Every structure is written in C-alpha cells, then in structure tokens.
Amino acid sequence: MISSPFHSLPNHMSHLPISQVSGVYDPSADGHCGFRCLAKAIYGNEDDYQKVKNDMMKVLVDRKDFYWKSKVFGKGKEYDSLTKIISYSGPSAPSEFWFSTLDCGQLAADTYKCPIEIHHKDQALIFLPMIKERYQTFNTTIMLPHASHYYLITLNRCRRHFPTIAFEYQRLCQEFGFTDFTSNFVDTETKPSLLLHLLTLYLYCK
C-alpha cells in the first residue's frame, strides 16, 4: 500500500531529507513486515518475503565460518536466534521472530550486496556488505522501525549525509580481505533515473 510521506513524524526521521520523501510503502502487518519491505525493494512484491528469508538463510549457512570468526552475529545464542528468525515460516510471526535491526540488517546487506540503512528514533546506521565481490548496487535500502512496523520509503533525487557505518566495518574489511567502500558513503547524489528505495524500519523506542 502506498501512502503519503511521514508528515506526522518529522522528529523521528531527522537523519533523512524529509522534503525529498516521495512515497511510503506500508506492507501487511503480520510480523513479517521487515522481510516484506525487503521483498518489495528486491523483487517488487512484498509477498515474496519467504524468498527473501530463503536467500538470507543460504548466505547465513554458506558464510557461517566468517560470521563465527568475526563474531558479527556472535557464536552461540545470537547466531542461533538469528537462524530461528530467518527460518520461521508461520503465517503470523510473534515478536521474537521479527526482523532484528542489527543482525538482519547486516545479513540483508551481505545477501543482496547492497547497503542497508536502519533509522531508529535516536540513531541511524548503515550496513555495508562485507564481501569481496563488487556491490550489486550502491543505492541504499534504508531501515527504520516505527510503532513495531516497517515501511519502505522512496526519495527524490537529492544530496544527503549517510548515517554511521555499523559494526567495525573497516577493521573487518582489513582483517578478512573485503573491499572497503567507506569513502563512497560520505556525501552523494542519488541517480536521476532511479528513485532511492529506503527500507525504513521505523520503530519507536519507548
């Protein structure tokens, strides 16, 4: 569902150029909304959210050695918890299976080889893919939770600042031989032919 920009929430989108928000996609609220937003951004259909989970699970399993050595997702409970979130396929997801900001954000970036931004009320982060291959795109998908629900935001062409890079990205790039694209995410202009899809996980942190 497409709705108007977040006119009523300017204080909670301080890291985004509010005047440039051209549309807000509101997915079904069934506990899978974060994955539904990714599905909309990647595949053009929110109902492909299970396909998104399958994609992410494959990367989580295939790169288990790296994730364990780097401790990006921890080694025991945290990794197992993420595995349970990604593998859950019920029609309605309880809160323990919702899209988690840090872990799912980084895993999504690694899976789709594109930057993911997550904007909370008081902090915004950008997750850069920890990979040796070239990015699929440098356009970012931004994430932000609001009232325990996720939205997909579209921006007009604009210049803006990117949020803080999550985890110890530069150190991990150096340690594991990944290409460091930190310099690409300072100030940039979105390409005129593409509306920037921002996966906005806009969650009130009360």
CATH classification of 2-202, choosing from 3.30.70.20, 1.20.1440.130, 2.60.120.10, 3.90.70.80? 3.90.70.80
Across the chain, mean pLDDT equals: 82
Dist CA 23 CA 72 (whole Å): 33
**Could you give the angle at which helices 33-43 and 49-62 cross, rounded to 10 degrees?**
90
Question: Among 49-53, 146-150, 159-163, which stretch is predicted with the lowest mean pLDDT?
Answer: 159-163
Under the banding of pLDDT at 50, 70 and 90, the label for residue 159 is confident
What H or E segment, with its residue span, contains residue 63?
none
The residues spanned by each domain of the chain are: 2-202
190-196 mean pLDDT: 36
Q: pTM of the predicted model, to two decimals?
A: 0.84
**Could you give the angle at which helices 101-112 and 77-87 cross, rounded to 10 degrees?**
70
23-28 mean pLDDT: 86
Q: Write the DSSP symbol of residue 89.
A: -
Query: What pLDDT does 42 receive?
Result: 95
β-strand pairing of 164-165 with 124-127? parallel
Residue 123 has pLDDT above 90, yes or no: no
Residue 152 has pLDDT above 80, yes or no: yes
Query: What pLDDT does 12 receive?
Result: 56
Residue 87 has pLDDT above 80, yes or no: yes
What H or E segment, with its residue span, contains residue 157?
none
For residue range 33-86, what is the model confidence (pLDDT) as tens digits?
A: 999 999 999 999 999 999 999 999 999 999 999 999 999 987 778 899 999 999
Dist CA 101 CA 153 (whole Å): 17
